[in-house]
Amino acid sequence: MAQDDDQPAVGGEEREQQLSSARERARRAKRRELAAHERAIDRHEQAAELQERLGHPDRAAAAREHGRHARELRELAVRELEEWERGNADK
């Protein structure tokens, strides 16, 4: 691997610490993504209920569709996190 002139050489232990830190940041980012999907699902469900009460079934249906899509994204993110954690379990 070529050494970037602006970057100092990194020793084995320091490199491992950097990788460990990067893995933890990636794990936290994926968990934040999951939390964001959960919040989106809740908000879309609330919006659907409100639109239904206000007499806008078309808007309620649209909000439910957005909620369904947010659930799909959450499930995808869950699978990605599980796969990522399996691949990094020994690291």
Please give the structure tokens belonging to residue 44.
């879309």
How many secondary structure helices (H) and strands (E) does the chain include? Answer: 2, 0
Cα gap 54→45, rounded to integer Å: 14
pTM of the model: 0.73
Residue 46 has pLDDT above 60, yes or no: yes
Q: Name the residue with higher pLDDT: 9 or 39.
A: 39
According to DSSP, residue 56 is labeled -
SS3 11: coil
Q: How high is the pLDDT of residue 91?
A: 63
Please give the structure tokens belonging to residue 8.
């100092």
Tell me which amino acid residue 79 is. R
Residue 66 has pLDDT above 90, yes or no: yes
Q: How high is the pLDDT of residue 10?
A: 59
Residues 6+ apart with CB under 8 A from 15: none
